[in-house]
Copies of this chain bind each other. A is one copy, B any other.
Amino acid sequence: MLRISKKAEYGMIALQRIAQSGETVAAKEIAEDFGISFDLLAKVLNQLSKAGLLIAYHGIQGGYALAKKPTDITVADILVILEGTLRITDCADHSHEECGCSIDAKCSIKTPMQLIQERMKNVFESMTLADMIVKTQTVQLHSIQI
């Protein structure tokens, strides 16, 4: 329920990894490092590069590099690319075209749900890749201090 997909998680982990390395990183390396499926990760990275978040280099010494600054990549961007349009209900986008839901016209929760979706969107938009790196490093420092 209200789960973030593994694809999105892998995408965020990979982007963070690439951002921190500062150079091109191969999918194989990331998959091995974190012990996750190479095939699935490859699909994710491909989607991210098609969407313009990564630049892909083929061949030997190839891999992926960031196409944007970490401050210009938000969690919302990543979710939209890897999970499709963010929609908490069938009807909760602003295109007021048929939503397919049987209730539709009689529905009394449409507006509240749109409001909630808007606020969720804000949450996802307000965290960038750069923020994620800082948060993680802070915690790593803390665990060293303790």
Query: Which residues of B are found within 8 Å of A108, using beta-carbon distances?
Result: 13, 16-17, 132, 136
Known: A1-B79, A9-B113. 19 other contacts (CB 8 A): A1-B83, A1-B84, A2-B2, A2-B4, A2-B83, A2-B87, A9-B89, A12-B112, A13-B103, A13-B108, A16-B108, A16-B109, A33-B106, A34-B106, A75-B112, A112-B131, A112-B132, A115-B127, A116-B124
Chain A residues proximal to chain B, CB less than 8 Å: 1-5, 8-9, 12-13, 16-17, 33-36, 75, 79, 83-84, 86-89, 102-103, 106-113, 115-116, 119-120, 123-124, 127, 131-132, 135-136, 138-139
